Amino acid sequence: MKTRIISGLVMAPLLVLVWLGGYWLTAAAFLVGLIGIRELYNGFEAQGIRPSKEIAYVAICVLYLLNILWPANHELPMLWIVLCAMASMVYGFDVNGRKSEDTMATLFGLIYVVFFSYHIVWIDQHEHRIMIWLVFLTAFGTDIMAYFTGMAFGKHRLCPNLSPKKSVEGAVGGVMGSMILCAVFGWLLGYGGSALASIVVIGFVGSIAAQLGDLSASALKRRMGIKDYGNLIPGHGGIMDRFDSVLFTAPLIYYTMTLLL
Alpha-helix residue ranges (DSSP H) falling in 96-238: 100-109, 116-124, 132-153, 168-188, 193-224
Does 185 or 235 have the greater pLDDT score? 185
Q: How far apart are CA 24 and CA 30, in angstroms?
A: 10
* Percent of the chain whose pLDDT exceeds 70: 94
Give the number of residues written for the chain.
261
Q: How far apart are CA 240 and CA 158, in angstroms?
A: 22
Q: How far apart are CA 224 and CA 261, in angstroms?
A: 40
> Residues 125, 30: contact at Cβ < 8 Å?
no
Chain segment 192-224, per-residue pLDDT in tens: 999 999 999 999 999 999 999 999 999 999 999
Q: What is the pTM of this model?
A: 0.94
* Selection from 219, 168, 179 nearest residue 202 by Cα: 179
Average of per-residue pLDDT across 40-63: 97
* Phi, psi dihedrals of residue 164, rounded to the nearest 5°: -60, -25
